[in-house]
Amino acid sequence: MSADQQTYTVLGASGFIGAALVAWLESRDQVVHAVTRASLPILLAARRPAGHVIDCAGLTADSRPRPLDAAEAHVGLVARCLSDLQFDSFLLLSCTGVYCRASTTHEDTALLARPADPSDLHRVTKLAGEALCLADPRPEIRVARLSNVYGIGMRPGSFLGRLMNGGLDTGAVEFRGTAASVRDYVRLAAVVRLLPAMTTTGRHRIYNLASGRNISHATLAERLRAITGWRTGFAADAPASTQRPIDTTRLNDEFGQTFSDLLADLPALLAFAQERRCSRSTRLLAA
């Protein structure tokens, strides 16, 4: 192994972020152990050195249909990794959705949750996993709170993936939220670059990984109409999501400015989604 080559273990390696992270690390000649749900028991039983562990395993933002799976992915798995794995560092991927009831979005902000509210299940389990990490005295255990990650290969069930698939299918997009609702979006390319840096050189134990800029559903809908001509609408009975912009001061001070511009990147994302559909149709016709 060369002096600049390190070993990484990526949990959730078949997911959107995990697969991209594995590819990025391998392109830089790092030693990578890609761990999926099927191979996870083997990793935990082996008790071999895992190097730098990045935990990308987890459920999407809506965990209500699968509460026990959410608890296992966000809490149970974290507990077993901290207990059983031999690692140089451990980085847990959490989400900026934990700030939804907070008045500020700095990493040290006190956070609120309503356990009786089913919509809070995802946040509560994420926070429990974070608490396990941050209660451990080892400084090499860290947490990264990610906003909405976008890029090539987004899953159909993701927020943007669902919007684009709906538009490609019907020529119309319906937002499950009001026009005034906002989200922060961060490029996948920035995420896979920054996660290893946090893992190996991070000076803090928790980071927000976001663009720091909110985009409203109304602005996103206008951009989609301008590019594609799709009709757009908004759920009439949905509550507005008006989370404050994510504080990225710590991230920018330590790792430099993170540039993400979803509105500028949308044409490329839509072109790829359309091309993938056309390629799939061609393969089906050939078969």
Q: What is the DSSP string of 207-247?
A: EEES-S-EEEHHHHHHHHHHHH--EEEE-TTPPP--PPPP-
Residue 18: which CATH number? 3.40.50.720
In a domain, 149, yes or no: yes
**Mean pLDDT of the region 154-168:** 89
In a domain, 1, yes or no: no
Share of the chain above pLDDT 90, in %: 70
In a domain, 19, yes or no: yes
Give the range of the structural domain holding residue 169, as residue numbers without chain letter.
Answer: 7-286
Strands (E), the chain: 7-11, 31-35, 52-55, 89-95, 141-146, 148-150, 172-175, 182-187, 206-209, 214-216, 231-234
**Mean pLDDT of the region 37-51:** 89
pLDDT tens-place string over residues 96-124: 999 988 999 999 999 988 888 877 888 99
pLDDT at 2: 62
In a domain, 118, yes or no: yes
**pTM of the full predicted structure?**
0.92
Token reading at 49: 């050195």
**Mean pLDDT of the region 242-256:** 94
127 vs 74: CA distance, rounded Å: 8
**Mean pLDDT of the region 221-225:** 97
In a domain, 2, yes or no: no
**Mean pLDDT of the region 174-192:** 94
Highest mean pLDDT among 33-42, 61-70, 181-190: 181-190
In a domain, 280, yes or no: yes
279 pLDDT band (50/70/90 cuts)? Answer: low
In a domain, 159, yes or no: yes
In a domain, 255, yes or no: yes
As for how many domains the chain has, the answer is 1
